[in-house]
């Protein structure tokens, strides 16, 4: 499917969502829409794999027969079902019962069957608890098929679901069914729902333009960033992963370079967003063994993968990307003060956990890895505990670059933000500052970065280029002289220098003008005398 067709599919599905949700809150309808899209993907992938597995035994039905081929095979081969499902778990890692397949669900919707609601409910529970060897418990926990938002009575809810599913099936029918297409449509819908979610969007969505910048940066070869891109990343982490788009973007960049990614790891504290992320991974063709998404609080560090029972076997990541909540209030305690992540740098203040998120990720960064994190500008210049943390990071030569972005790029906030790039083993003993605050396309409600804006940032970082009023490499000595303040405008001002005025030259020009005025006045008076008008 071409990029244009992918966009058309996304737009088609968004129009369906916009038309059907009626008075329902966009966030609520998002969960239904995306879950049905996910079920459609799982079903198609499963049916195609089953067709290959069964070969000539796969039933071929007439157009008039509205049963699914798998349901027919199940009816005729009851004794072989356990072996068949065991083989399917080996090949594609999950199983879906024939009655729960999208083709059967759409047929129930088309005929307005009263069994639709119950069948869907059973299907969701089966996928959560039995489909996958690696449990996907709670995947549809936020989908309440008995919600009064769908209708006051079971009959009304059934009718509403029939309408939604029919429209989605019709919308998808004219497009390719590959995973990339549905994955991109899923991402498009997440973006559209985010646009209407205001501040809530910050919980699950990083604009693609910014996601691309972070992904490109961590995909560069940390040893020779100017000459090549990484060919392999064993482990990638986003500890505030939202819907998972940043992780998927990193994976996409590496694969486009002809490289490979071993496994991607994400952590998310919001249950709804956590479910979105898991669906997003599978919708982009990833097997459940290729990623791990954990539901839990990053700052408390509840994830066993990241808790160091044996410090010598610490989990490390080749690339870390993150867009954590901005200036989140938190409650650090004495236990956290001794936590291995914060012990050497100190705790961030209660008023803003920004540096706590940063230090959490940085602790798990490998020696040759790169970390790119989006933060509010306050981390660059605020005093107190944040100044102490910032100073130590600079003195240890861990801050590689500071990139200032324009304001109003996010749906959740209008403030300008920055990207901090960190490394544990830097070659350079300076910090690259990029001030891209004035480089954007202005929109009615939202500003955006075009392709050139994005490439300018990436190329400037890649080659550490210096450009007047845009970028500059600043020595540690100069940063120290500025009290380890990283305020971007101190080092790269975007203001135009005022033109120097030569007062002597201006005075001479004014004197010359006075002489011309005097000569013109004399000539004028002479004309008046010739006309006999002198003295009037």
Q: Is residue 136 domain-shared with residue 278, that is, in the same domain?
A: no
* Residue numbers of the domain that contains 406: 199-221+231-453
β-bridge mates for residue 238, sequence order: 266
Q: Residue 308's pLDDT is what?
A: 78
In this predicted structure, what is the pLDDT of residue 15?
A: 84
Same domain? For 335 and 396 the reply is yes
Name beta bridge partners: 268: 295
- Regarding whether 167 and 39 lie in a shared domain, the answer is yes
Q: Compute the half-sphere exposure of residue 432: CA atoms within 13 Å on the CB side of its CA.
A: 26
Question: Per DSSP, what are the bridge partners of residue 472?
Answer: 433
Q: How far from 319 is each of 250, 302, 312, 342, CA to CA, in Å?
A: 9, 21, 20, 20
Pick from 371, 116, 138, 53: which is nearest to 238 by CA?
A: 371
pLDDT, position 197: 61
Who's near 415: CB < 8 A, 6+ residues apart?
326, 376, 377, 407
Asked if residues 224 and 465 have their Cβ atoms less than 8 Å apart, the reply is no
In a domain, 491, yes or no: no
The pTM is what?
A: 0.85
CB 203 within 8 A of CB 273: yes
Q: How many domains does the structure of the chain reveal?
A: 3
The packing angle between helices 26-54 and 179-195, to 10°, is 180
Residue 387 lies inside a defined structural domain of this protein: yes
In terms of domains, do 114 and 62 share one? yes
Q: Cβ–Cβ contacts within 10 Å for residue 124, how many?
A: 18
Instruction: Look at residue 351 and tell me if it is in a domain.
Output: yes
Q: Do 214 and 317 lie in a common domain? A: yes
Q: Average pLDDT of each block of 10 consecutive residues along the chain (536 residues)?
A: 68 80 73 88 92 93 87 95 94 93 94 92 92 81 86 90 89 69 80 66 73 94 63 93 92 89 94 90 89 94 84 86 94 90 95 97 95 96 97 97 93 85 93 95 87 96 95 97 96 75 85 88 83 68
Residues 108 and 208 in one domain: no
User: 256 and 150: one domain?
Assistant: no
Same domain, 436 and 521: no
How many Å separate Cα 177 from the centre of its chain?
24
Residue 124: which residues within 8 A CB-CB, separation 6 or more?
35, 139, 140, 143, 145
Both tokens of 398, joined, read 């861990």
Residue 452: per-residue pLDDT:
96
Residue 102 lies in a domain: yes
Pairing relationship of beta strands 417-422 and 365-376 according to DSSP bridges: antiparallel
394 lies in a domain? Answer: yes
Q: 427-465 burial string, b = 16+ CB within 10 Å, else e? A: eeebbbbbbbbebbeeeeeebebeeebbebbbebbbebb
**Do residues 34 and 276 make contact, with C-beta atoms less than 8 angstroms apart?**
yes
State whether 363 and 380 are in the same domain: yes
Q: Is residue 460 part of a domain?
A: no
Residues 334 and 208 in one domain: yes
Q: Give a yes or no: residue 398 inside a domain.
A: yes
CB atoms inside a 10 Å sphere around CB 121: 15
Is the same domain home to 74 and 143? yes
CATH number for the domain that contains residue 240: 3.40.50.150
Considering the domain architecture, whether residues 29 and 44 belong to the same structural domain is answered as: yes
User: Which CATH number characterizes residue 61's domain?
Assistant: 1.20.1260.30
Label residue 52 exposed, middle or buried (CB < 10 Å: 0-12, 13-18, 19+): exposed
In a domain, 478, yes or no: no
């Amino acid at each position: 499917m071409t990029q244009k067709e992918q966009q058309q599919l996304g737009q088609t599905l968004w129009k369906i969502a916009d038309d059907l949700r009626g008075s329902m809150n966009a966030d609520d309808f998002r969960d239904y829409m995306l879950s049905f899209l996910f079920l459609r993907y799982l079903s198609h992938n499963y049916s195609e794999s089953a067709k290959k597995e069964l070969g000539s035994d796969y039933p071929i039905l007439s157009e008039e027969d509205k049963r699914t081929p798998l349901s027919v095979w199940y009816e005729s081969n009851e004794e072989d079902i356990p072996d068949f499902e065991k083989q399917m778990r080996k090949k594609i890692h999950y199983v879906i019962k024939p009655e729960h397949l999208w083709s059967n669900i759409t047929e129930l919707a088309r005929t307005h069957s009263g069994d639709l609601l119950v069948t869907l409910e059973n299907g969701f529970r089966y996928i959560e608890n039995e489909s996958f060897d690696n449990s996907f418990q709670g995947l549809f926990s936020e989908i309440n098929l008995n919600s009064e938002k769908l209708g006051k009575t079971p009959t009304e809810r059934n009718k509403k679901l029939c309408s939604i599913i029919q429209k989605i099936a019709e919308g998808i029918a004219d497009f390719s069914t590959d995973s990339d297409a549905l994955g991109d449509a899923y991402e498009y819908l997440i973006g559209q729902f985010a646009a209407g979610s205001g501040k809530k969007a910050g919980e699950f969505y990083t604009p693609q333009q910014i996601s691309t910048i972070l992904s490109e940066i961590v995909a560069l070869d940390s040893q020779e960033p100017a000459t090549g891109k990484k060919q392999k990343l064993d482990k990638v982490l986003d500890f505030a992963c939202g819907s998972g788009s940043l992780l998927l973007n990193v994976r996409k960049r590496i694969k486009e370079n002809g490289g490979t990614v071993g496994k991607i790891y994400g952590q998310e504290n919001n249950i709804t967003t956590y479910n979105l992320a898991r669906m997003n991974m599978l919708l982009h063709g990833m097997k459940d063994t290729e990623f791990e998404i954990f539901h839990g609080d990053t700052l408390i560090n509840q994830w066993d993968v990241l808790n160091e029972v044996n410090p010598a076997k610490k989990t490390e990541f080749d690339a870390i990307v993150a867009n954590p909540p901005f200036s989140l209030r938190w409650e650090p305690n004495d236990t956290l003060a001794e936590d291995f992540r914060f012990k050497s740098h100190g705790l961030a203040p209660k008023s803003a956990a920004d540096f706590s998120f940063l230090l959490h990720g940085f602790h798990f960064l490998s020696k040759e890895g790169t970390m790119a994190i989006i933060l509010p500008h306050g981390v660059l210049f605020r005093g107190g505990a944040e100044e102490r943390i910032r100073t130590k990071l600079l003195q240890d030569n861990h801050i590689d670059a500071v990139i200032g972005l324009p304001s109003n790029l996010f749906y959740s906030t209008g403030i300008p933000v920055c990207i901090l790039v960190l490394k544990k083993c830097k070659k350079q003993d300076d910090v690259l500052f990029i001030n891209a605050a004035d480089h954007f396309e202005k929109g009615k409600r939202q500003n955006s970065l075009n392709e050139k804006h994005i490439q300018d940032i990436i190329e400037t970082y890649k080659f550490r280029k210096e450009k007047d009023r845009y970028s500059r490499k600043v020595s540690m000595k100069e940063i120290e002289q500025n009290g380890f303040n990283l305020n971007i405008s101190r080092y790269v001002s975007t203001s135009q220098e005022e033109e120097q005025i030569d007062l002597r030259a201006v005075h001479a020009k004014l004197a010359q003008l006075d002489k011309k005025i005097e000569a013109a006045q004399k000539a004028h008076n002479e004309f008046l005398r010739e006309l006999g008008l002198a003295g009037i």
